[in-house]
Chains A and B, each alone.
Chain A
Amino acid sequence: MASSSSYNSPCAACKFLRRKCTPGCIFAPYFPPEEPQKFANVHKIFGASNVTKLLNELLPHQREDAVNSLAYEAEARVRDPVYGCVGAISFLQRQVQRLQKELESANADLIRFACNEINPTANLPPPPSITPRPRSSSLGFYQQPPAFPLPYPLPWNDTSDPSGNINDGGEGNM
């Protein structure tokens, strides 16, 4: 976190906004002058005043991470104006679901093999579909389900309506 305001060069934010970079500039530690695009993206998507308000609500040791996450989201939105970083969430969600299905299928095969090992003469039917219980796996994959709503429903469960039922869980307590 280099404070460029104490040196000759103003921070990227003050350069962009064409203002004097004061010693107490809130952006200076997080927007070095060597990375002008970082602030440009953040300003374009969120606006400098919004970022200032957000940072003022956080503790000083949290601000760097907050700025970096905002920079990431801003860049994602610049590259993909429709989905932004939510596209990545949707993709990862599908990937998790796919892996979960593969794991279920592999576990079913494993149980079938294990049963055949114990009783090789019996022609055992395929075991019923196994619904993994949370926190039952030895490796702990099935942890507690995420406490956040996922943005997009699965393709096979797509009952979304235009008003966006995804917002039901994320709007907080109203």
Chain B
Amino acid sequence: MTLKGGTSQACAACKYQRRRCSAECPLSPYFPPEQPKLFQNAHKLFGVSNILKILKNLEPGQKNEAMRSIIYQANMRDKFPVYGCCWIICQLKYQVLQAEEELNAVQAQLEMYRQHHQISSMPDDGTSQLELGMAPPSNGLSLFNHTTPQHYNAVPAAALPVPQQQSYSNSSKGVYTSGYMDAKDINVANSFWAQQPNYANNNNNSMAIQSQLVVPQQQTIQQEVVQDYDELHPFFDTIDDRQSYIDSKEAYESSSSEESLKDTTQSTEHVAENELKNAAARFSLTSVN
């Protein structure tokens, strides 16, 4: 019978193949005889020769990690025969997306609380400004700027991470930040393989599968929103009350694209003048034109 040495049992690999398990059997450390299913899964997906080919080119310190990943991958393929590990990647990416959205929402709420706390802790002048119906402080708009477009920028367009050549034993997790973008739905089966993989030989940066790009649309929308508020930011800075808002708005609208710089300067001066008038109005309670 296939016995390894004296009393020790043959490994699961040799048992399956019905051969003698020698002391130098390369697979015996990874496939104990008590767990035959491990080897069956690995054998079904990779095959013994392919596993040995993978291990042959690795350093001794990397073989354990490689076998762990091979066994895990084979188990996942056994569990999910159609998608294998890709299903797990999809699930995790969806969780990451959800967590990011929730984190953004909570941080936005926190920002609102901080602003409110800041406003409530301001001196009476600030309170009176609000009572007069003035626009909120300019930094209140930072709420809308407090998004993470940079974070989205770190997730370019591809459904799955782009595998890199360097091993993860170097904790090169930054590798995957440049590789993928998320699918919106967990039911990505239909959209998962929407685009055919690019297997052109010259394209080293191609990724196998790309899905529909929902996040970049969000990214575009967020950037547009941010830009809009950036454009309005200096505009709102100069507003103290509705009267000056109207004057400033007329000045703003009258400027053409060619003379935009000049008109902006003029409107700024005009608004500055209005600020003084409004400050006076605040103390004298007289309307100012």
Contact = CB atoms under 8 A, between A and B. Distances in A.
B100 A99 contact: yes
Interface in B189-220: 189, 192-193, 196-197, 199-201, 208-209
21 contacts: A35-B199, A37-B201, A57-B81, A62-B82, A65-B192, A66-B82, A72-B197, A81-B58, A81-B66, A82-B62, A84-B69, A85-B73, A85-B89, A89-B88, A89-B92, A96-B92, A96-B96, A99-B100, A113-B117, A140-B98, A172-B78
Contacts of B38: 167, 171
Contacts of A16: none
Interface of B: 29-30, 32, 35-38, 41, 44-47, 49-50, 54, 57-58, 62, 64-73, 75-76, 78-79, 81-89, 91-93, 95-96, 98-103, 105-107, 109-110, 113-114, 116-117, 160-161, 163-169, 173, 175-176, 189, 192-193, 196-197, 199-201, 208-209
A46 B36 CA distance: 20
Contacts of B165: 79-80
A73 B192 CA distance: 15
Interface string A33-66: 0011110000011110110011001100010111
A170 B92 contact: no
A170 B79 contact: yes
Most buried by B among A54, A68, A69, A117: A69
Contacts of B91: 146
A99 B82 contact: no
A76 B192 CA distance: 17
B86 A77 contact: no
A114 B200 CA distance: 56
A42 to B, nearest CB: 11
B107 A106 contact: yes
B208 A92 contact: no
Contacts of A139: 98, 101-102, 105
A95 interface: yes
Contact of B73 (A62, A79, A86, A96): A86
Given A37-B199, A96-B92, A166-B68, A84 B73 contact: yes
A77 B54 CA distance: 9
B37 A172 contact: yes
Contacts of B64: 162, 164
A110 B89 CA distance: 31
B72 to A, nearest CB: 5
A174 B57 contact: no
Contact of A72 (B70, B86, B98): B86
B180 to A, nearest CB: 8
A141 B192 CA distance: 21
A36 B203 CA distance: 13
Nearest to A34: B199
A103 interface: yes
A53 B106 CA distance: 49
Given A62-B82, A87-B168, A164-B71, A53 B160 contact: no
A156 interface: no
B57 A73 contact: no
Contact of B163 (A87, A110, A164): A87
Closest 5 CB pairs of A and B: A170-B75, A92-B92, A99-B99, A76-B163, A37-B199
